[in-house]
Structure 1
């Protein structure tokens, strides 16, 4: 007898209140980097090409000049990240009708700050989560960590089908700004990445049916591309996290993702045409276009991801969860619909999650 797959009950999202439109950010960075003889016209072109309308920042824009050390930026990450993570988890639990004491597993993902104990420990104390909770903090998976965390949480619930898991992603990308780095990769990053947090509540298949029609995690797959560490990541130095971002990211995606998805679907007796909803990480216009071309999708298939990119930017691991939350809120998915959630990140790697409503 086949067991009932884990269900996604809800998604909670939280954004810091400091929204700044893209033109204001272009002006602020131009004023700073212009004094260092950087090509300001090039900066503006790269930022506008990101197709981001504006972003929410961890701090008011006026407070960033004072962040002149890794310790100061990381302290801000811990303080603001704890607040946003708590807000996202609280919203997700409320939507799911689950109390903090019912949470059996807590997965925490980030790539924009570090602490020991990790932020999930602070959330246990802050929200009154059960002291028996099994905590799994994950650092280093970058933009794909939202999808990977969802997969790992669902894996745990297959082993413990009567339990509840919460995944929380906190990414404060603006705090990783390297002000002395005028490389093209860093300039692109300053025009693309935003700040935010997302949380997902899942339950095992043996628990009472979820209210409404919750999507279930049918299957997951991880794909690692050997010898591609150079494609994306951080160089960690005295000033913190310096972005590594190859221009070949879209090329790697377009060359590989189509076959990876086809093999994943075929292993589950499916083909691309069976999937109605594509929930893609908002890596940037070129990344989304490469994903779309790799799967030969119509432009409308990724409209939700492009809209999220325009509204809040790339939130690293939280992005794909924001897109998932938007789909759940829309009510567009119908019973029996299939969805594919996908994200790519450092390794270089891909994470695929197959959903059925």
Structure 2
């Protein structure tokens, strides 16, 4: 008689990919068996169900999905963070899903490491979600992630994708071009940049848009300073920029970092916008109440979440369909933190 070794209490529960490995089939086949898909050979179905029994794989959940064929649940993978943009997108996703008659199950990843994202996706797949939204950057994929996205319709946000996902994105390069061009049109000879962390596709796209806008204007970009999206990192970089006399305009890759930059400029006696103009990105609720109120590139996060759900539902209805990537356009909100060069 074949037995399996008892699992340590610290080990994760068996997942869909474990069932696929034991049964000798793909994760997509496991998903089809558990959802009651008719186009599965009886022999294959028996192997998958035997693996489910052997591993003790989420028997209650598997039975629930088998009995109905539907879970009416959308999974969302998020980064463990308090960043406003991540929260706002999640709210948009939940509202749109609820309006469509779906609930949302969220799984967080402690980092952007592919193995952490893989584990979060596996937890959602194990719950029998009908589709997944990756609401974080997926810079690198893994074999298991590819298997999950083939088995479960998946939409990615932030411009990242695997071979079997669809994209919904805000044009971050365009957001940077809008901000940089605004400052150039005010007469500033160049624009300095406080970027987000290099591991984020959003940050890379914004930095590239800033750089290309300056180069297209015949301006050699000054060195960019890197932050981590936090106000503290903006403050540290603001203390550097505020001590450079020729700095008259700064494009900051997020409003939260822009708050820190502005605080540093105040402490150094640099007036805004008389001495230095500052533009952020996001248009979070506090931007209007910054001192001075912050000029920023608004991103329609709620619309982004709604569009992701709509895209995913169409993909779930027909996984064979090829959907064009959907893009949401950012727009500039001009407030008091920007002005003509020299005041």
Q: Could you tell me the TM-score, scaled by structure 1's length?
A: 0.30
Which has the larger strand fraction? 1
Higher RCO (C-alpha under 8 Å, 6+ residues apart): 1
